[in-house]
Structure 1
Amino acid sequence: MDKLHLDQHISQQYNADLEDLRTELLEMGGMVEEQVRDAITAISNADGELAERVLVVEDEVDQREIALDEHCTLILARRQPAASDLRMVMAVSKITRDLERMGDEAQKVARMAIALVEDGSGSQGYVELRHLGNSVQTMVHQMLDAFARFDVETAMNVAKEDKQVDREYRSATRELMTYMMEDPRSISRVMNVMWALRSLERIGDHARNIAEHIIYLVKGLDVRHTSMKEIEKQLRERP
């Protein structure tokens, strides 16, 4: 496991500000993780009540994003951080945006769950939905764990898993397209499931983005738009 050596400052308040920033992000991340889990459960089990709760939580996630943005801005203005401190503030600012967007996608899944319940069809039997949902939930959990422990190895695992999620999404889409062609009466129901799958795939994309921000935070490497092979090469070369 990698360590992030944040500078220790004469000002205890500065140290506290940086630790509070980390804590606040993990709290927001925990909320989004629960939101994603509940949205997947809601659409898998045709649970309209749980889906409604996911929609309510979104407002609080948005408020957390605003509060964290303000906190980052205040630290930049008052402390003028450098080196690892600056990377921490910048990474938190970027991760916050991705977390909020993950919440938006969870909200879309919840809305699809409500539509399926109202249609009276539910989504039981869609193995693709459950399978992709499990993969995405694992990514989100590992991503938060990587940030909490400043763990580059776990962040790399999340980035690699995104490729698998993309493959699962494409495979599921093909299966459902075939199903709709065989039974045109299912088109409306299956389209809702496909939109939910698309949102899950995007949640995986945001988890990968956050994994890349964690690598930048710990190693100082900007690995956006970089292949996995090249990222691994850069990490081997960077102590």
Structure 2
Amino acid sequence: MAFTNTRHTVKRFDSEIDSLIEQVLEMGRAAGQQVEQAVTAFRAGDIELAQAVVAGDDMLNRRDLDIDQACIRLLARRQPVSTDMRLVMSLHKAVADLERIGDEAKTVAEKALAIQARGGALHKGVAHDMDCLAQVALQRFVAARDALARLNIEQAWELVRQEKDPVEEAFQDSLRSLSVLSLEGGPMVATIIDVVLAFKALKRVADHADNLAEYVIYIVEGQDVRHTG
């Protein structure tokens, strides 16, 4: 199933739906870019890039508000039913998750700035763990975003039904490595806290990605699989 498979007799409705979909997918691309840049800034201690990520969060917030209003207008004017209703409502929810993904990217960037302000430097082990966690979290997000873009129900179910959570495993591995490093007289306590918060932010990116996959299932099959795990 794809977004464009079902056309309506009112072409204006199709145009509004297409515009809404494209806005959501573009916001998804922007949110992913924010996360990627935040991770790069964190690892490299790039102050300018971290500041750009923080500033860029305003753009995602504006898109959230704009798309939210577009969804409300579409519901009020067209009063969609069945799959169309599920589609609009799910896109409305997806935008909220994308906005929160932007918030998580901002958190990573802010922690990078805090570490640099103290004159800190990341231990190479921390940078490695950040890479590993970011990779699996972004893979989950990209897969969920792709499933939403194509309404790929098989891909959505694959994400929802994963028996082992690679993001959780990478997160726990990162915490264990960090605890060993702290016992060896590694980073100061404030830096360790910032690193942990950055790791948690990346883990939450994957949590929001899971929500996107659940919305795909709801759109296509009408099943609300939230809180069923």
The TM-score normalised by the length of structure 2 is 0.92
Question: Residue 121 of structure 2 aligns to a residue in which SS?
Answer: coil
Q: How far has the Cα of 1:6 moved from its partner?
A: 5.9
Specify the SS of the correspondent of 1:222. Answer: coil
How far apart are residue 4 of structure 1 and its match?
5.3
Distance across 1 between alignment mates of 2:110 and 2:163: 26
Give the distance between the partners of 2:187 and 2:64, measured in 1 at CA: 42
Match of 1:213 in 2: 215
Distance 2:164 2:104 in 1: 16
Question: 1:7: Cα distance to partner?
Answer: 4.2
Would the alpha carbon gap of residues 101 and 161 (structure 1) be closer, same or farther in structure 2, given more than 3 Å must change?
farther
CA contact (8 A) 2:104 2:202 kept: yes
1:65-85 Cα distance to aligned partner (Å, 9 max, x none): 001111110111111101110
Q: Give, in whole Å, the separation in 2 of the partners of 1:185 and 1:207.
A: 31
1:61-104 Cα distance to aligned partner (Å, 9 max, x none): 00100011111101111111011100110110110100001110
Instruction: Please show how residues 103-118 of structure 1 align to structure 2 within 5 Å.
Output: 103-118=102-117
Q: Which residue of 2 aligns with 1:96?
A: 95
Q: How large is the Cα RMSD of the aligned pairs?
A: 1.8
Is it true that 1:123 corresponds to 2:122 in the alignment? yes
Q: How many residues align?
A: 226
The equivalences for 1:131-210 within 5 A come to: 131-159=132-160, 160=162, 163-183=165-185, 186-210=188-212
Identify which range, 133-142 or 14-23, moves more after superposition.
Answer: 133-142
Query: 2: distance between equivalents of 1:4 and 1:65?
Result: 21
Partner of 2:33: 34
Matches of 1:84 and 1:14 in 2, distance apart? 14
- What one-letter code is carried by the residue in structure 2 that aligns with 1:12? K
Partner of 2:224: 222
C-alpha distance in structure 1 between counterparts of 2:203 and 2:50, whole Å: 19
What stretches of structure 2 of length at least 5 have no aligned partner? none
Q: Deviation per CA, 1:126-173, whole angstroms, max 9, x where unpaired? A: 121110011111112112111111112222343339822012212211
- Partners of 2:37 and 2:105 lie apart in 1 by 8
Distance 1:206 1:11, change over 3 A: same
Relative to structure 1, the CA distance from residue 76 to residue 162 in structure 2 (aligned partners, 3 Å threshold; closer, same or farther) is farther
Measured in 2, the distance between the counterparts of 1:154 and 1:121 equals 41
Alignment partner of 1:84 is 2:83: yes
Post-superposition offset of 1:226: 1.9
Shift of 1:181: 2.7
Q: Sequence identity of aligned pairs in percent?
A: 33
In 1: Cα distance, 2:151 partner to 2:199 partner: 30
Q: Any unmatched runs of 5+ in structure 1?
A: 228-239
Q: Which residue of 2 aligns with 1:236?
A: none
2:194 alignment partner AA: N
Aligned-pair CA distance for 1:111: 0.3
